[in-house]
Structure 1
Amino acid sequence: MSRRELAENVGIDPRYLANIELCGTIPSVPVVMQLIRICKLPAERYFNPELLREDSEQRQRTSHKLQLCPEKYLPIVEGVIDGAIKLKVADDEKEDV
């Protein structure tokens, strides 16, 4: 779903949605609830401060994007993650030498 389509479904301006997504603008509770419902996001991630503190902003963004990723492309994403983990292990082994 495009940003424009999502904004229309939520009933907000696409620029406002872009500001929420890219600039960290904090939306009102009704807007958050609509976004959670429409995007089928886990509500507890947004209302449980303990969970929010666990992940960096980049991990939260990546997790959100992963939820939006079509199922058929998940093997590609998983392969990239596996490759990144292997690089990290190799870097750690080099540092230990």
Structure 2
Amino acid sequence: MRKKEDKYDFKKFGLAIKEARIKQNLTREQVGSLIEIDPRYLTNIENKGQHPSLQVLYDLVSLLNVSVDEFFLPDMNTVKSSRRRWIEKQMDNFTEKELILLESLANGIKKSIEMKK
């Protein structure tokens, strides 16, 4: 028999769902309509860490492009955070010129980090 404290705490996951939803300018009502759930259920997932059903979990991470790896496999080195996945998705729409600017920014950050060492 499992102990109550062995259950997974979905609060961090709920916050990530909320952040991703807001970044995509979606309301709870819109998300609820898209994945056919009551917006109050989504509110409880986002704010109270309510355990979503497996189908709702799948629908939310698919719709909002949230990585579950960072929540369920936090010790893995191959994890791509939701933030990294969101940035990569944004880059798909960048022009070559914008990618060059982003590359320059990344190089500047890297040099700054190296100088601090």
TM-score (norm 2): 0.40
Query: Which protein, 1 or 2, shows the higher relative CO under an 8 Å CA cutoff with sep ≥ 6?
Result: 2
Where is the helix percentage greater, Structure 1 or Structure 2? 1
